[in-house]
Amino acid sequence: MNFDILVLGTSSATPVSNRFPSSQIVNIYGTPILVDCGEGTQMQLRRFHVSFGRLQHIFISHLHGDHYFGLFGLLSTYELFHRDTDLHIYAPEELKQILWSDWSPVKANELPYPLHFHALPRQGGVIMEHKNFTVQALPLQHRIDTWGFIFREKQREPNIIKSKIEELGLLIEEIISLKHGQTIEREDGTKIYPQDVTTPPPEPRSYAYISDTKYIPQLAEKLLGIDVLYHEATFDNAHLQKSQLTFHSTAAQAASIARAAHVKKLVIGHFSATITDMNKFFEEARAIFPNTVLGYDGLKISIPVKKANSEKSGNA
Amino acid sequence: MNFDILVLGTSSATPVSNRFPSSQIVNIYGTPILVDCGEGTQMQLRRFHVSFGRLQHIFISHLHGDHYFGLFGLLSTYELFHRDTDLHIYAPEELKQILWSDWSPVKANELPYPLHFHALPRQGGVIMEHKNFTVQALPLQHRIDTWGFIFREKQREPNIIKSKIEELGLLIEEIISLKHGQTIEREDGTKIYPQDVTTPPPEPRSYAYISDTKYIPQLAEKLLGIDVLYHEATFDNAHLQKSQLTFHSTAAQAASIARAAHVKKLVIGHFSATITDMNKFFEEARAIFPNTVLGYDGLKISIPVKKANSEKSGNA
């Protein structure tokens, strides 16, 4: 039931020595997912002790080099390791042309493992459905087609109260029905109500990765109540014009989105190498959204299991 | 008159957290030259404070990813920096197809700076001629077409002895003639002999980069007297069979080449990630060639100006 984010790279287009280009590992229910794969991602995975052989899903937000140039090395390393398990890439359509072209740096057709390509839908939508979570692509506004990604834990079933199992002699089928909210009526006429033998499940958790994009105030509606929001903050407001010209956001704008969306925590990253005083990003964002964390290579954030919202439960 | 090597990456195909894939800066007479450009090269250039805007020449030994995947990021960064000066790439022919293809990660045709491609000749030979040095490509034996590179300082002219200029009232034209070894005969019949007014120039310095290759004993003849030899040592002799299968060399083999070629210093690198005890490489090579240095990311080696070899000079 873990739900963790490991930030691997926090620089924008131009890497600096202590900040690599964009990439992250989102780990949900033991399923590691790579989000973006800038140059040097495989070195960062090693540096931060991620066993990347288990990785099966890679999401690429857009085709600027600082978000996917690490893919060539990573795919090649899997070849050297004689990987034979499926690997899924969810990315803009054009990446398929790049990887499968005759002159691709990595010949997708000749890899010893099955590489599956999933083109991101222009209008967005759920692009991956797992037993325990979904991943949704969200169109952003950048210089080229770009998508954000929202990872949402699915609503879990209510928990059965263990003492009730023995007390009432509950059978497996009865437990399943009760968890699904169905009332049990036994042959002797006794009724067992779900709300008497279950506790409400924890609230689903969520994480959103929004990079790269210009400031889109309307985005907040789509991010309402997100637990952790990673939002690019390439510039500070002193560079507002440059930010607009390049279709990027400032730290203040990222914080405005976080505030309007009532997210629990904001992580900012994708910092321009031209701004070396990180306080500028930090102070600007915190003034608008206090629970802001400055992203750095190696930052790990765990989203803890939440207590049930009793107002939503049948026990109210 | 500097002649320095800065090693940027010393891992083989699979990078480890403290060893990046192959790349080096060879700096001769103030001209920086990049040799190989594995993934993360631009980050290493920043880490080791190389101002890479001045770089105009890039040599790529072969098209395994760990020797050129960093090129995409580097070429893109130059684009972001609005570079407008010429950049020359000397590499296997196929790289031209990759960079200029319609689906190249970097569109060579659309870069804002002139990118010149020089295909390495199959038989090798001098591929770059500078006023003060030459670069020679040397075919190696690897799984794909691969070349080593030899950097040779040109023979400099003899030095004029300063006190003689005033003593004899030497004119500029006379000095030039004397430096070229010509005897001067003045109108009054006096003769000025070059060996009386000059000291011999320092011996030319040289550096060879040999990676990747299987063990080629005959290579020593082509490396005779090299000052500094960088030779790949992917494995130790305990992995001799694996080394042969993958067309790589062991530390002992690299040292044997160094000994047979009578080089002054050997640097080994391109270490396999499967061998973590670096002593194995070190001890194995040192037993055969004592002046061996273990390569590491950030190693800097300067080749000092050598004293003239008096046996070769006219003053003997």
Put simply, the answer to whether A65 touches B76 (Cβ < 8 Å) is yes
Q: Which of B286, B209, B243 is nearest to B37 (CA)?
A: B209
Contacts for B163 with CB less than 8 Å, ≥ 6 apart: none
A69 touches chain B (CB under 8 A): yes
What Å distances lie between residue A117 and A33, A36, A54, A96, CA to CA?
A: 15, 15, 18, 7
| pLDDT tier for residue B313 given thresholds of 50, 70 and 90 | very low
When CB atoms are compared, the residue of B46, B98, B102 closest to A105 is B98
Q: Provide the angle, in degrees to the nearest 10, between the axes of the packed helices A279-288 and A251-260.
A: 30
CA–CA separation, A179 vs A197, rounded Å?
9
Which ipTM was obtained for this model? 0.91
What Å distances lie between residue A208 and A2, A10, A265, CA to CA?
A: 16, 16, 11
Judge whether residue B1 has pLDDT over 90. Answer: no
CA–CA separation, B137 vs B149, rounded Å?
5
Tens-digit pLDDT profile for residues B152-183: 999 999 999 999 999 999 999 999 999 999 99
Take residue A74 and report the two structure tokens written for it: 């990573």
Judge whether residue B53 has pLDDT over 80. Answer: yes
**Closest-approach residue (CA) in chain A for B13:** A77
Active site residues per annotation of A: 66
Q: Which residues of chain A have pLDDT under 70?
A: 309-316
| Multiple choice CATH, B3-156+201-302, 3.20.20.70, 3.60.15.10, 3.40.50.300, 3.30.2140.20 | 3.60.15.10
Question: Is-contact B59 A90, C-beta < 8 A?
Answer: no
For chain A, the C-alpha Rg in angstroms (whole number) is 22
Question: Is-contact B151 B208, C-beta < 8 A?
Answer: yes
When CB atoms are compared, the residue of B17, B98, B104 closest to A43 is B17
pLDDT of B50: 95
When CB atoms are compared, the residue of B39, B105, B106 closest to A40 is B39
Q: What is the DSSP string of A127-191?
A: EEE-SSEEEEEEE--SSS--EEEEEEEPPPPPEEPHHHHHHHT--HHHHHHHHTTPPEE-TTS-E
Q: Which residues of B touch A105 (CB under 8 A)?
A: 65, 68-69, 72, 98, 105
Take residue B108 and report the two structure tokens written for it: 């060579």
CA–CA separation, B51 vs B21, rounded Å?
20
Take residue A192 and report the two structure tokens written for it: 């067992």
| Residue A169 burial (CB count, 10 A) | 9
Take residue B188 and report the two structure tokens written for it: 């009054």
Active site residues per annotation of B: 66
Contacts for B296 with CB less than 8 Å, ≥ 6 apart: B7, B10, B19
Judge whether residue B299 has pLDDT over 70. Answer: yes
A53 touches chain B (CB under 8 A): no
CA–CA separation, A118 vs B280, rounded Å?
46
Dmax (CA) for chain A in angstroms is 76
Phi, psi of B54 (to 5 degrees): -80, -10
Tokens 């991602």 -> residue: A41
Q: Which residues of B touch A21 (CB under 8 A)?
A: 73
Question: Is-contact A57 A63, C-beta < 8 A?
Answer: no
- Burial class (CB within 10 angstroms; exposed 0-12, middle 13-18, buried 19+) of B137: buried
Residues 15-34, chain B, touching A (beta carbon < 8 A): 15-17, 20-21
pLDDT of A15: 79
CA–CA separation, B243 vs B233, rounded Å?
9
Run of H or E residues at B302:
strand B300-302
Q: What is the DSSP string of A74-135?
A: HHHHHHHTT--S-EEEEE-THHHHHHHSTT-SS-GGG-SS-EEEEEPPTT-EEEEE-SSEEE
Q: Which residues of A touch B46 (CB under 8 A)?
A: 15-17
Judge whether residue B68 has pLDDT over 70. Answer: yes
Contacts for A252 with CB less than 8 Å, ≥ 6 apart: A236, A237, A284, A285, A287, A288
**Closest-approach residue (CA) in chain B for A48:** B17
Interface test with A, best of B14, B103, B117 (most A CBs within 10 A): B103
How far is A274 from chain B, CA to nearest CA, in Å? 12
- Burial class (CB within 10 angstroms; exposed 0-12, middle 13-18, buried 19+) of B171: exposed
Over pLDDT 70: what percentage of chain B?
97
pLDDT of B259: 98
Tens-digit pLDDT profile for residues B118-149: 999 999 999 999 999 999 999 999 999 999 99
CA–CA separation, B251 vs B282, rounded Å?
8
Question: Is-contact B69 B38, C-beta < 8 A?
Answer: yes
Put simply, the answer to whether A15 touches B43 (Cβ < 8 Å) is yes
Put simply, the answer to whether A103 touches B106 (Cβ < 8 Å) is no
CA–CA separation, A98 vs A219, rounded Å?
30
**Closest-approach residue (CA) in chain B for A274:** B81
pLDDT of B309: 57
Domains of chain A, residue spans: 3-156+201-302, 159-199
Contacts for A246 with CB less than 8 Å, ≥ 6 apart: A143, A234
B212 touches chain A (CB under 8 A): no
Question: Residue type for A261, please?
Answer: A
Interface test with B, best of A17, A43, A76 (most B CBs within 10 A): A43
Interface test with A, best of B23, B69, B102, B246 (most A CBs within 10 A): B69
Take residue A147 and report the two structure tokens written for it: 């998508």
Put simply, the answer to whether A72 touches B105 (Cβ < 8 Å) is yes
Q: Which residues of B touch A104 (CB under 8 A)?
A: 98, 103
Tokens 């046996």 -> residue: B311
Take residue B184 and report the two structure tokens written for it: 């001067």
